[in-house]
Structure formats: structure tokens, C-alpha cells
Structure 1
Amino acid sequence: MRQIPVDTNGATLMVAQPPQPKYSDRKTQTRAVDTQTGEFLMTLDLLFVMNGNAEVITVSVGESGITGELTMGTPVGLTGLIARPWENEFNGQKR
């Protein structure tokens, strides 16, 4: 799978919503697992501010990557952030 490194230098990041468990199947409450480490994943909504623009982004983080009390407004730093391109196939069409 391709990986795209993301440079967050110069950006201000803070917690928008506290971490929540990530599920691969919400119906069965099956937790999502990092395929490389086997670690359970959490999702974290962050406010990403750069060049006068602000957006809420959702990142997936291994449980060990979340330290301390992450309440709304807590400043955070991201290291080693990568994006993974994805495509979705629906009724035989790629999107």
C-alpha cells in the first residue's frame, strides 16, 4: 500500500474530540487493529490550523501513541504522520 508522508511543521493542532476506539465492524463491536503492529487503533479528531485556515481532521493512532489526558483544546504534536490513498468500489465502479 502506498504511503504519503504529511508535513505538519508550521501547523497548530489541538484536540477537537477525545480519542475513541476505532471499529472495523460496528455491528459486532470488532476493534480495528494496526496490521503492522497488531495494536488496537483509536480515532482522534483534531483541529488543524495552518495559513489562516482551520479544518477538523480525523487521524487513526495506535493506543500506545495516546499519552496523557487528551481533552478538547489540548495542543498536540504529530510525528510520522502518513496518508494512505484509498479507493472504493461500488456497483462495479471505482470512486
Structure 2
Amino acid sequence: MRHFKAPYTPQQNGLAERMNSTILESVRCLLSHSGVYKAFWAEAANTACHLINRSPSVSLGLKTPMERWTSTSPHLDELKVFGCAAYAHVKKGKLDDRARKCIFL
């Protein structure tokens, strides 16, 4: 019996499978290091993709994917640590706290 393999599926593209694996490994590391709940996996995946697109790649001649796409180098001065402490400004009353401690995602 001959098995039919659908074209353009992830199983047929080793490069896409490797990138999915890289993103998943990054998500695991981000969640583990920050100590946030696993429910925030989507935010960690978004952060992992953001970092990958701003990291140099040997296959691109040590340029970043963002640099190859936009022809401008990425600005890295606004990067923050995933899961670090952040403070949100709130204004409730005259004697209440002006900020609430949060987790940066």
C-alpha cells in the first residue's frame, strides 16, 4: 500500500520543524527561569520569536532576520528580562499606593 504525504506540512519541512523545536526550547527556558505559570506560554513564545528575529544568524552572514527583512539593524536598548518585576501606575485615592507590582511579560 502506498502512503500519501500531504505537501507543505511541517513533517515535510525539516527547517520549520527545527525552528519549532528551537522556539519550544526557548519557551521552556523562559518559563523555567522566570518562574511564571505555564499558562503564560503564549507570551513566552512571542518573546522567544522576538528574540530570535533580533539575534544574528550564521546562515544570514551574521545578520539578524529583522535586518535582512527591513535593511535596518534592530534596536536592542529597550529589551527587558522576561518575568522581571514591573510596576503599573494606578491612581485610586489620595493615600493609596500609586503603583502596583506586576510581572513583565
TM over 0.5: no
More helix by share: 2
Bigger Cα Rg: 2
Q: TM-score range by the shorter chain?
A: under 0.3
